[in-house]
Amino acid sequence: MSNDARIIFHIDMNAFFAAVEELDHPEYRGQPIIVGGDPDGRGVVSTASYAARQWGIHSGMPVARARALCPQVIILPVNMERYRAVSSQLMAYFRTLTPLVEPFSIDEAYLDMTGLAQSWEHAIAWAKTIKRDIKARFGLTTSVGIGPNKLLAKMASGMEKPDGLVVLRYQDLPAKLWPLPVDELFGIGLATAVTLRKIGLATIGDLAQAPVDFLTRRFGSYGAKLVAWANGRDTDLVLSERERPESIGRETTFRTDLHDPDALFGHLLWLSDAVCTRLRQERMLCRTVTVKLRFADFRTITRAHTLINATDVTGQIHRAAKRLLQEHWQGSPVRLLGVTLSGLQEKSAGRQMAFFPDPQDKQDIRLDKALDNVRERCGSDAIWRARYLLTGSRGKGEDK
């Protein structure tokens, strides 16, 4: 069976963090609950219970705003360890059904059910069983999407929340997928969606019918991918054990030792940008930034900083690297400079990274998206941050 004609489930837990809190605190059940931030009203909502959503509260919203909308809202801190424990029990349960389970985030997984479900009817029966099982064993509700590939399964699970079950086959696309706004197609970034709308492609159906040549001229090979996605084509396999790097590093040895701080900081920005671009391509976040310095006398030091929140934003990572360099470089000539990201984790689905309250972060994210888009279209050398030009850094760094 081709990769594009399988039976794939995408299982998405509903309001996962809030649902786990309701399990642990029965007295909160059915109450407006938000997880995230602190009771002083700082920080952003990580997850809102469905009761809280009725008040207009949603994830990414500042906690203070949530409290203004619903003064009696219950604010709980994020208990990631507990959510991870429940998540791994869920994944273990999925693996009793099929070995082909790909955890996609803490509360989502793809299951290749082709071997078990021989027909769509059979698949629906399986989905109902799984939903019942998860409710009975874990007390949690789920939305299950079923499709012939991962893309359509993912789109389907998003169509009915909470407690949904949607099948999205090729014949269902005109009625169910194509009327949706183009922004909702999984895999399309915000910047791309804006461009598509500007050129008159407002719905997924518009994109599906757009001439491939036209989009290729506009977006390079990414344009052809966009049209394929809009037509529900996706050849990505469910991979039970994805090959994931444990760290992403890049270092560069200078032709002549550097002592000019501006030049050194310019190279640092290039290296940070290179590792962060790779991090985003892997759809991962990092916690720890390490800077490596080798001096003219071959003395080598590495200095690390661990961030409070995992990130993939170049600006945040670059600032951490820069602080390390400022703290630990006393001016001796530098022969080699390196930046390594570790403490990697999968980036969860959705667009939560777009919800940074800090204007600097917002600006950084916009810049990253713009650069990623251009590089995807025109190759990694197509565009440079102005700072490199000032320092002549063109990065001959090597992947570690």
Contact between 117 and 4 (Cβ < 8 Å): no
| Residue type (1 letter), 233 | R
Closest CB 350 distance from Mg ion, rounded Å: 8
N-terminal to C-terminal alpha carbon distance within the chain:
38
Contact between 43 and 36 (Cβ < 8 Å): yes
Burial environment of residue 138 by CB neighbours within 10 A (0 to 12, 13 to 18, 19 or more) = middle
Burial environment of residue 388 by CB neighbours within 10 A (0 to 12, 13 to 18, 19 or more) = middle
Closest CB 14 distance from Mg ion, rounded Å: 6
Least Cα distance to 397 among 273, 244, 312 occurs for 273
Closest CB 145 distance from Mg ion, rounded Å: 12
CB within 8 Å of 82: residues ≥ 6 apart: 20, 24
Pick the closer one to Mg ion by CB: 102 or 376. 102
Closest CB 202 distance from Mg ion, rounded Å: 27
What is the Cα–Cα distance from 75 to 47, expressed in whole angstroms? 10
What is the Cα–Cα distance from 158 to 174, expressed in whole angstroms? 17
Site string for Mg ion, 7-36 (x = CB under 5 A): -----xx-----------------------
Closest CB 52 distance from Mg ion, rounded Å: 15
Closest CB 229 distance from Mg ion, rounded Å: 21
Asked if residue 312 binds Mg ion (CB under 5 A), the reply is: no
Q: 122: helix, coil or strand?
A: helix
Pick the closer one to Mg ion by CB: 12 or 234. 12
Pick the closer one to Mg ion by CB: 107 or 273. 107
User: Of the residues 22, 102, 108, 376, which is catalytic?
Assistant: 108
Q: Where do runs of H (alpha helix) occur along 28-110?
A: 50-53, 63-69, 80-97
Q: What is the DSSP string of 292-340?
A: EEEETT--EEEEEEEEEEEE--HHHHHHHHHHHHHHH--S--EEEEEEE
Pick the closer one to Mg ion by CB: 12 or 273. 12
User: By CB under 5 A, which span of 4-12, 33-41, 83-91, 379-387 interacts with Mg ion?
Assistant: 4-12
Pick the closer one to Mg ion by CB: 144 or 324. 144
Q: What are phi and psi of 189, to 5 degrees?
A: -80, 165
Pick the closer one to Mg ion by CB: 93 or 295. 93
What is the Cα–Cα distance from 147 to 234, expressed in whole angstroms? 11
What is the Cα–Cα distance from 252 to 21, expressed in whole angstroms? 47
Least Cα distance to 353 among 282, 271, 283 occurs for 283
User: By CB under 5 A, which span of 5-13, 59-67, 84-92, 230-238 interacts with Mg ion?
Assistant: 5-13
Residues 135, 82, 283, CA angle at the centre, nearest 5°? 90
Pick the closer one to Mg ion by CB: 94 or 265. 94
Active site residue 121: no
Contact between 167 and 150 (Cβ < 8 Å): no
Closest CB 15 distance from Mg ion, rounded Å: 7
Closest CB 111 distance from Mg ion, rounded Å: 15
- Give the number of residues in contact with Mg ion, rule: CB under 5 A: 3
What is the Cα–Cα distance from 42 to 245, expressed in whole angstroms? 34
Pick the closer one to Mg ion by CB: 107 or 312. 107
Considering only residues 88 to 107 of the shown chain, the ones binding Mg ion according to CB under 5 A are 107
Site string for Mg ion, 104-133 (x = CB under 5 A): ---x--------------------------
Which amino acids are annotated catalytic?
108
**Which spans of this chain sit near Mg ion (rule: CB under 5 A)?**
12-13, 107
